[in-house]
C-alpha cells in the first residue's frame, strides 16, 4: 500500500510538471516570436588589427628588456660552467666567494625576470579588460541599432547553430574603439 501511494504521488508530481512546462511554452511562444537574436564571432574580433596591433605594441615595448634578460641568462649559465671547471684549481675561499656572488646574481636575475613578467601580464590583462569593455559597448550599440534583444557569441560551446544572417561581427568590429 505504501509503495502504491509513493507511485501515485510521483505520477501526480510528474503530470503537474509536464502541464506546467506546456503552459509556459504556450505562453512564452508569443514572446519568443518577438525576440530578435544576433551573433558575434569573438575569435574574428580578437584577430582584427584593433586588438592585435595593441598586443604587438606591448610585446615590442618589452622586447629590449627580454633580450637583455636572455643575455643575462646566457652569462649566468657561462659563469656556472666556469665555476664548475675551476672547482679543482681554486681554493675553498675563492670558490665560496664566487659561488655566493653567482647565487646573488641568479637571485637578482630571477627577481628581474619575475618583475618583467608581472609587468607584461598586467599590461596584457589591462588591454584584455579594455578590449572586452569596448566589444561589449560596440555590441550593445549595434544591437540597439538593429533592434536585437539578444546577442550570442558564436565562440561559445553553447551556441550550437546560428544562421549567418544573424551575424553582426563586422558591424561590431567597425564600432570597437580602444
Q: Residue 38 pairs with which residues in a beta bridge?
A: 151
- pTM assigned to the model: 0.62
What mean pLDDT comes out for the span 111-130?
A: 93
In the chain, where do the E strands start and end? Answer: 37-40, 150-153
Query: pLDDT tens digits for 11-20?
Result: 443 444 444 4
Residue 99 CB contacts under 8 Å (≥ 6 apart), including other chains: 83
User: Residue 9: what pLDDT?
Assistant: 42
User: DSSP string covering 35-89, please?
Assistant: --EEEE-HHHHHTSHHHHHHHHHHHHHTHHHHHHHHHHHHHHHHHHHHHHHHTTT
In 12-148, where do the E strands start and end? Answer: 37-40
Q: Are 168 and 142 in contact (CB under 8 A)?
A: yes
Look over the chain and give the mean of its residue pLDDT values, rounded to a whole number: 79
Q: What is the largest CA-CA distance in the chain?
A: 96
Identify the band that residue 125 occupies on the pLDDT scale cut at 50, 70 and 90. Answer: very high
Residue 37 CB contacts under 8 Å (≥ 6 apart), including other chains: 148, 149, 150, 151, 152, 162, 166
Amino acid at each position: 500500500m505504501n509503495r502504491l501511494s509513493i507511485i501515485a504521488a510521483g505520477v501526480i508530481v510528474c503530470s503537474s510538471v509536464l502541464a506546467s512546462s506546456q503552459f509556459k511554452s504556450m505562453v512564452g511562444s508569443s514572446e519568443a516570436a518577438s525576440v530578435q537574436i544576433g551573433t558575434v564571432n569573438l575569435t574574428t574580433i580578437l584577430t582584427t588589427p584593433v586588438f592585435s596591433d595593441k598586443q604587438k605594441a606591448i610585446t615590442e615595448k618589452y622586447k629590449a628588456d627580454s633580450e637583455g634578460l636572455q643575455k643575462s641568462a646566457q652569462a649566468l649559465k657561462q659563469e656556472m660552467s666556469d665555476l664548475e671547471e675551476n672547482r679543482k684549481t681554486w681554493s675553498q675561499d675563492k670558490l665560496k666567494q664566487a659561488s655566493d656572488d653567482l647565487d646573488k646574481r641568479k637571485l637578482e636575475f630571477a627577481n628581474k625576470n619575475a618583475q618583467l613578467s608581472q609587468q607584461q601580464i598586467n599590461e596584457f590583462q589591462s588591454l584584455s579588460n579594455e578590449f572586452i569593455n569596448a566589444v561589449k559597448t560596440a555590441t550593445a550599440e549595434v544591437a540597439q541599432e538593429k533592434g536585437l534583444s539578444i546577442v550570442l557569441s558564436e565562440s561559445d560551446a553553447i551556441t550550437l547553430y546560428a544562421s549567418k544572417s544573424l551575424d553582426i561581427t563586422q558591424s561590431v568590429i567597425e564600432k570597437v574603439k580602444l
